[in-house]
Chain A
Amino acid sequence: MHNHYYRRGNLFSHCSYNNLVINNIIQNEVVKFKEFFFTILESVCFILGSYLQENTYKNKLLQCYYAKNVGLNTASYYLTNYLDDKIVENIIVKSIADVHPFEYENYRYAMQYKFLSNAKLHSKAICFYQDYISKSFEIRSFLLDKEFYSMATFTQNNPHSKIDGRNDPLNTNKKTPYVLPVDIKDKLLDFADKMGINTGSFDLLFNEEKGYLFLEVNPSGQFEWLSKNCNYYLEEKIALYLYEKTSQY
């Protein structure tokens, strides 16, 4: 094997059992197996994307920590299982991990960011809260071979996407190719180095007072809509990159 592209997905994701306790034991075994398997795989060939790095750093807290570490601005965040009344305004509740859409009792659910509407928490579980920042536009930027392919999306005037830019059911938000400033690009590359990732989809926003703010990175995020909307032909670029790396062996 010369080359490995971890695009997304998993091994044995369909292995599940009705008994919750047994299922947890089996899933823990599978997790440990995958850690071993991908460690060996990633050590014997060139890799684009990484199962190991993705599972370590698909964590908004770590991402915010490293973003600040390289000099990127982020929205202020709080991690607590108790919210004081004073800080409830203009706060969005998010998940720390990436929550994939899931099915439960014949309904399909997907995680979206929401304003916190009630000061009283119904759960004692620890939650991740982040200041809401109004934006001039949002940026999705795809990293490949140390280059960023970016798109600005004007989400603020659409009530659906005002809080969560992904929520644009009618696909009416204006999108345009965008070039990141050199200093932001350099900081994002530093950030990617610290995270050990060589590809991924970065989300940022631009606020007129605060400038560019880092939101998150998804190492296996979707880029098809970015590629199509901006005519970047990312699929061709990824294929060429993989092919050239394979040819070096």
Chain B
Amino acid sequence: MYRKSILIFTTANDTSSDEIINWLLSFETKILIYRINDTDDIKINISDDYIVIVHKGKGIEINKKFIVY
């Protein structure tokens, strides 16, 4: 199913980001919001034709060639 997605880079203690995400979810509950805090342990895999971030066990598509983890 087609779902809207937003990637937010922020810090763990940024309360403004908390509020923005709450507002986004109030507009549409099915929106995919990936919040990456600077202290988060993320895995990144990049080759010449794909970029994938693995964050909290979920893959995040960056370009169109998405590798599912």
Contacts and interface: CB of A to CB of B under 8 A. Distances in A.
Contacts of A3: 4-7
A5 B5 contact: no
Contacts of A224: 15-16
Interface in B33-57: 36-39, 42, 44, 46, 51
A247 B4 contact: yes
Chain A interface size range: 20 to 34
A41 interface: yes
Q: Among B21, B27, B42, find the residue whose CB has the most chain A CB atoms closer than 10 A.
A: B27
B51 A40 contact: yes
B62 A40 contact: yes
B8 interface: yes
Interface of B: 4-11, 14-17, 19-21, 23-24, 27-28, 31, 36-39, 42, 44, 46, 51, 60-64
Given A8-B14, A9-B10, A246-B31, 16 more contacts: A1-B60, A2-B4, A7-B9, A7-B20, A9-B11, A10-B9, A11-B44, A13-B38, A44-B64, A51-B9, A239-B19, A239-B27, A240-B27, A242-B20, A243-B24, A246-B5
